[in-house]
Amino acid sequence: MTTSLPEDSWLRGLRPQPARVTAAEYEALPEDVARAIEIVDGYVAFCEAPTPDHQTAGRRLANVLERHARRAMDRGHECLTVNSDVDLRLRDVPLLNRRPDVVLYRCLDRAAGERLRAEHALLVIEIVSPGSETQDTTDKLGEYARAGIAHYWIARLDNEGVTSIERYGLDRATTRYKHLGTFLKDETGSPPQVSNPIPVTIHWDDLRF
């Protein structure tokens, strides 16, 4: 299922796309158009409309991260923000602009119109949906690593909520991710914890639908 487009949509003029989209052209797009696409190497990639389960999982994960981000800031960490489905600029030329499901990042200077870029992002989470397996586990895995984002998580779902979280950490010497482990909902024992980029404890009940 894909996002429907109005008949007069600017996007329809990009089939076939005669030239790459520049950063300036992208930034001039209406918000409703920008939300329906990503830009990969200057070319438009249409985003499928997320399922209700996908949206719920993103909201649950964002809530968990936001709660722990606030605790980290209370203990002296720099200002942090958590957002879902937000523009993340990975590269200007050729333009590479993704919209991660969830991203934890350093607070931006809103008054100065600062844009969210890879250097601000501490952790990106993508939720695997039918049809997004290759993008999330291969394409974006490489893109986020090359952009220098230190942590990347891949979440998987069943009908009841998030069932696993694959964790990757950046090897800066090779600009590739190393698999740090996978949290599984059905594992026994204490709730899984991480210390980087901020301390987070995963309670699976918080990630149920």
Q: What is the mean pLDDT of each run of 10 residues along the chain (209 residues)?
A: 54 64 92 90 88 95 98 98 95 96 96 93 94 88 97 96 97 97 92 97 96
Residue-wise DSSP of 122-165: EEEEEE--TT-HHIIIIIHHHHHHHTT-SEEEEEEEETTEEEEE
Superfamily of domain 52-207: tt1808, chain A (3.90.1570.10)
pLDDT value for 3: 54
Question: Which part of the chain has CATH 3.90.1570.10?
Answer: 52-207
pLDDT value for 1: 45
* pLDDT tens by residue, 118-159: 999 999 999 998 778 888 999 999 999 999 999 999 999 999
Residue 143 CB-half CA count within 13 A: 26
Q: Phi first, then psi: give them for residue 190, nearest 5 degrees.
A: -70, 155
pLDDT value for 7: 55
pLDDT value for 5: 55
pLDDT value for 4: 57
